[in-house]
Amino acid sequence: MKMLYKGYLTGPIIGALWALVMAVTLGVAISFATGEAARPALWGALILGVVTGLVRVWRANRWLSLGVAVVVALGVMAMGLGALQFGAGFAPGSRVALSIVLAGMVAIPLNTILRDLPFGTTTRHEFEAAVIRFLTGFGYLFFTAIVIIPFYVMVMTSMKSQQQLMLNPLDFSIDLSKGWHLFDSYYELMTKFHFGRYLWTSFYVSVLTVALTLLFSVPGAYAVARLRFSGRKVFSRGILLIYMVPMIVLALPIYIAYSMVGLRNSVFGIVMIYPVTTIPVALYMLQGYFRGLPVEVEEAGLMDGLSRLKVIWKITLPLALPALASVGLYVFMIAWNEFLLAFMLLDDPSKFTLTRGIASLNSSEIPRQHLMAGAVIATVPIMALFLGLERFMTRGLTAGAVKG
């Protein structure tokens, strides 16, 4: 490591890595935006990055390094070594423009990343600060890309036709001139595939699940959090243990029992089973929250002559409203996203929940964009809820330990 504590080594190395990242980013972005080939090239990127990094640490002048980057980018492009190799679809003008954009994307962040890095020997602080700035920039790009791209693909695919998809899978653009016809898949799902009904089923199943879960878990959680009784520790561990039992292990006997009793293919059966899978989680989350509430308030209530149940109703629950909201949201999310039980227990298309409905779209006879439109329909409500109530949701997730 010590060998690297030289500005003239660190600068070019970080520069080269950054240029590579940028070349790949821009290449992917251009390919997706235009559907044309723009291929990042290793050597071109390395040359561009090394030179820019070196200039930056040599003369700490941001305009100089930007200028040099542009000159180098255009130079290597002219030699055919450019960091981006363009396909035949690009006019010379756009090639030059894109090369200049790339130079800017390399030089401007590098100016920040290599800030305060001397040309000669650097201290450990300066070196590590530069590395951290590089990793930070890379990290933001990386995470944003891996999250955005799949969700964008979901939306984009749902708005295309089968031919467009097969013709050029690289084309990420959405043809806005089609107007309302972009939503043809959605229209068809709603009219021909009964997705309106599935939405409604999913919605009321989830709401009922939340209500039943809270009804059962609030008293239980209070008892575990506040009351002293022998077996309390065993009980609270038991909850956690149940919370770890794999669903598939339970699903098999439940399937058998439901087949025999005739509860398969009934929404009632689903509403019976969902809360049980969420009660342990809710109990665990709520008891953690109840413990955090001040005991003194409750004791004051007891002294003033309230019974325990009254204390729960009049003091604890109003204080715990935010926690109830978090837990309710979290349970709603679990119920809304639940797939396995719905898949195993529902066969009758008139009783499908949304996730089960999407699973039924996964066949070779139904076009891909319908499947993706179904995915969007299932994702949008939960995302809207999540973004609107992000504060509650985040707390619900962190309180709920780590449910898969």
Partner 1 sequence: MTDISPPKGRGALAKREARLAWGLLFPTIAIVALVVIVPLLAIFWISVKPVKLGDLRPAEMRLRISLREGDQPQVEYRVINPSREHEIHGAGFDTTLPPGVTLTGDLPKGCALNGQDLRCDFGDLAPGLNTRYRIDAQIAGDDRAIKRAVRDSGVVVRGQVDNMLTNTTFTLENFRKLFSGTEFWSVLGVTLFYTIFGTLGALLVGLFAALLLNKDFRGQGILRGLYLFPYVAPVIAVAFTWITLFDPFSGSANALLVQMGVSQGAINFFGQKPLALIMVTVFEIWRYFPLSFLFILARMQSIDTDMYEAADMDGASPFQKFWYLSMPQLLGILSVLFLLRFIWTFNKFDDIFLLTGGNAGTRTLTVDVYEQAFAVSNIGAGAAVAVVVFGCLLIFAALFFRTMSREEGL
> Which helix (H) or strand (E) is 328 found in, with range?
helix 321-337
Pick the closest to residue 11 from 135, 139, 138, 130 (CA basis). Answer: 130
Contacts 24+ apart (CB under 8 A), 397-403: 397/330, 399/285, 399/288, 399/289, 399/323, 399/326, 399/327, 400/281, 400/284, 400/285, 400/327, 400/330, 401/240, 401/243, 401/284, 401/285, 403/243, 403/281, 403/334
Please pick, from the candidates 224, 286, 327, 345, the single residue that binds partner 1 as defined by CB under 8 A: 224
Task: Tell me the closest approach of the beta carbon of residue 165 to partner 1, in angstroms.
Answer: 5
Task: Tell me the closest approach of the beta carbon of residue 226 to partner 1, in angstroms.
Answer: 9
Site string for partner 1, 335-354 (x = CB under 8 A): -xx-xx-------------x
| Gap between the Cα atoms of 254 and 232, Å rounded | 29
What are the phi and psi torsion angles at 84 (to 5°)?
-120, 125
Nearer to partner 1, 66 or 172 (CB): 172
Please pick, from the candidates 147, 261, 297, 300, the single residue that binds partner 1 as defined by CB under 8 A: 147
Question: At 337, which amino acid appears?
Answer: N
> What would the two tokens of residue 63 be?
């305009």
Residue 85's CB is within 10 A of a number of other CB atoms, namely: 17
| Gap between the Cα atoms of 243 and 247, Å rounded | 9
Kindly identify the residues of this chain, within the stretch 15-54, that bind partner 1 according to CB under 8 A: 27-28, 31-32, 37-40
| Gap between the Cα atoms of 371 and 354, Å rounded | 12
Task: Tell me the closest approach of the beta carbon of residue 120 to partner 1, in angstroms.
Answer: 19
Distances (CA, A) of 290 to 301, 315, 376: 16, 11, 37
Task: Tell me the closest approach of the beta carbon of residue 98 to partner 1, in angstroms.
Answer: 15
Nearer to partner 1, 107 or 221 (CB): 221
Nearer to partner 1, 61 or 362 (CB): 362
5 belongs to the binding site for partner 1 (CB under 8 A): no
2 belongs to the binding site for partner 1 (CB under 8 A): no
Please pick, from the candidates 33, 71, 79, 148, the single residue that binds partner 1 as defined by CB under 8 A: 148
256 belongs to the binding site for partner 1 (CB under 8 A): yes
183 belongs to the binding site for partner 1 (CB under 8 A): no
Kindly identify the residues of this chain, within the stretch 107-126, that bind partner 1 according to CB under 8 A: 124-125
Stretch that binds partner 1, among 61-69, 70-78, 293-301, 394-402 (CB under 8 A): 394-402
Please pick, from the candidates 139, 196, 292, 349, the single residue that binds partner 1 as defined by CB under 8 A: 139
> What would the two tokens of residue 288 be?
């953690």
| Gap between the Cα atoms of 349 and 182, Å rounded | 26
237 belongs to the binding site for partner 1 (CB under 8 A): yes
382 belongs to the binding site for partner 1 (CB under 8 A): yes
* Residue 174 DSSP class: -
Site string for partner 1, 274-313 (x = CB under 8 A): -xx--xx--x------------------------x-----
Stretch that binds partner 1, among 11-19, 59-67, 88-96, 370-378 (CB under 8 A): 370-378
Nearer to partner 1, 99 or 287 (CB): 287
Kindly identify the residues of this chain, within the stretch 319-338, that bind partner 1 according to CB under 8 A: 333, 336-337
Task: Tell me the closest approach of the beta carbon of residue 220 to partner 1, in angstroms.
Answer: 4
Task: Tell me the closest approach of the beta carbon of residue 67 to partner 1, in angstroms.
Answer: 29
Helix axes 267-292, 232-242, angle to 10 degrees: 130
Nearer to partner 1, 61 or 168 (CB): 168
153 belongs to the binding site for partner 1 (CB under 8 A): yes
Q: Is the dihedral of CA 9, 15, 18, 23 positive or negative?
A: negative
190 belongs to the binding site for partner 1 (CB under 8 A): no
Pick the closest to residue 169 from 188, 148, 146, 153 (CA basis). Answer: 153
